[in-house]
């Protein structure tokens, strides 16, 4: 029987002296070599997958970062869309306030676009949200155009309203019930008394036509202007008239000078607005702030 092969491993120092001698059976060396060969072959098969996985890991990290950035942009877009929807809601409230004075029959019919903005889901897809917003903006745009057409027709009426102060001064006696300066009982005052020195210019608060210019039993030298739409303005206790009957006046024209004529206890202007022949509170028509006090009590 042949003797099994052995491999001797000899370790020596630099000076040539032997340190260690190790005998290894041939089969053990074969096993080690075979194992190394199998390991190398295995690594050769696995390495491409490792390289691919490492590359995919890097790609996944980059995609995760991009996804995080895009999610941030999406959240910001959702926030901006909610702000826009809130702004559109405020348009609706503003439209309602503008239409309110004209009555419910003047308000245009609404076309539904999915309800109020607050009723929509907070996390709706961006495209769906944009489609909803586009529909609402179109609806509000049509509402604005309708309002523009309506105000265009109403502008002629608004322009004819006596909306300015004819004289700047303190209101010494207001519209409505007051204590009579001539008797112990109260009386209804059909206008307002604006304190002003004699000779103060009286400005037309709106365009119109003079329908009375002359003496009045109570108001002395008196002027009445017809502004159209059943609206007239009266100016009493004047010292001089600058216009005559059927004279057309524009807003801001000097039509008279204040005085103390008629039944009056001091220089002032009696200013009155009549609608369909009935006196109304001039404060409801005057849009300007009152002027500074320039006179003391009158009438």
User: Each residue's pLDDT tens digit in the chain (299 positions)?
Assistant: 566 666 666 666 677 665 666 666 766 667 777 777 777 777 777 777 777 777 777 787 777 888 888 877 777 777 777 777 777 777 777 777 777 766 666 666 654 444 444 444 445 676 777 777 777 777 777 777 887 777 777 777 778 889 999 999 999 889 988 877 666 777 888 999 999 999 999 999 999 999 999 999 999 999 999 999 899 999 999 999 999 999 999 999 999 999 999 988 889 999 999 999 999 999 988 987 655 543 344 34
Q: What's the CA gap between 137 and 113, in Å, rounded?
A: 10
Q: What's the CA gap between 87 and 79, in Å, rounded?
A: 12
CB burial string 7-22: b at 16+ within 10 A, e below: eeeeeeeeeeeeeeee
120: DSSP letter: S
Q: What's the CA gap between 219 and 204, in Å, rounded?
A: 18
Q: What's the CA gap between 85 and 92, in Å, rounded?
A: 11
Provide the β-strand partners of residue 235. 223, 271
Token pair for 165: 């102060």
Written as one string, the DSSP assignment of 219-237 is TEEEEEEEEETTEEEEEEE
Give 238-246's long-range contacts (Cβ < 8 A, gap of 24+): 238/202, 238/269, 239/198, 239/199, 241/213, 241/214, 243/210, 243/213, 244/210, 244/213, 245/210, 245/211, 245/212, 245/213, 246/209, 246/210, 246/211
């Amino acid at each position: 029987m042949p003797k099994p092969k052995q491999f001797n491993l000899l370790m020596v120092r630099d000076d040539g002296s032997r340190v260690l001698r190790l005998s290894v059976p041939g089969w053990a060396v074969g096993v080690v070599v075979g194992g190394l060969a199998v390991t190398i072959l295995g690594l050769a098969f696995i390495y491409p997958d490792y390289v691919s996985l490492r590359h995919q890991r890097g790609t996944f990290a980059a995609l995760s970062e991009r996804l995080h950035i895009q999610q941030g942009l999406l959240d910001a877009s959702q926030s901006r869309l909610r702000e826009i929807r809130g702004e559109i809601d405020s348009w609706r409230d503003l439209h309602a306030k503008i239409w309110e004075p004209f009555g419910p029959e003047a308000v245009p019919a609404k076309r539904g676009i999915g309800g109020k903005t607050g009723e929509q889901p907070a996390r709706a897809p961006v495209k769906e949200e944009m489609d909803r917003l586009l529909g609402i903006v179109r609806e509000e745009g049509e509402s604005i155009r309708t309002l523009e057409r309506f105000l265009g027709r109403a502008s002629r009426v608004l322009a004819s309203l006596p909306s300015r102060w004819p004289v700047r001064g303190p209101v010494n006696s207001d519209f409505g019930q007051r204590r009579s300066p001539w008797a112990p009982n109260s009386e209804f005052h059909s206008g307002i008394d604006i304190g002003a020195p004699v000779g103060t210019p009286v400005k037309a608060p709106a365009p119109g036509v003079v329908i009375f210019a002359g003496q009045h039993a109570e108001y002395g030298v008196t002027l009445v202007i017809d502004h159209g739409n059943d609206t007239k303005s009266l100016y009493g206790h004047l010292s001089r008239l600058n216009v005559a009957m059927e004279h057309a006046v524009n807003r801001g024209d000097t039509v008279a000078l204040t005085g103390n004529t008629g039944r009056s206890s001091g220089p002032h202007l009696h200013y009155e607005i009549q609608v369909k022949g009935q006196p109304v509170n001039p404060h409801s028509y005057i849009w300007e702030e009152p002027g500074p006090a320039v006179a003391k009590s009158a009438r």
